[in-house]
Amino acid sequence: MDCVSERNLSGGAIYDALIAHAALVFKAEKLLTLNPKHFVRLGGSVAKIVVVPA
């Protein structure tokens, strides 16, 4: 995942980036969200674990 400043994120997107970073650090298998586009834009490593619950 690229640095937040490199992706020009602000506001609530910073919280999404922090959540995604924590998921990657702790090697989460899934990141459940109802807003996948908020996380997919953070990079391929995050996109691989994003799941929308059924």
CA separation for the pair 5, 28 (Å, rounded): 24
- pLDDT bucket at 10, cuts 50 / 70 / 90: confident
- What's the pTM value of the predicted model, to 2 decimals? 0.84
Any residues with CB less than 8 A from the CB of 53 and at least 6 apart, and which?
A: 32, 34
Sequence-distant (6+) residues with CB within 8 A of 36 are 50, 52
Average pLDDT over residues 24-45: 95
* Sequence ranges of the domains in the chain: 12-51
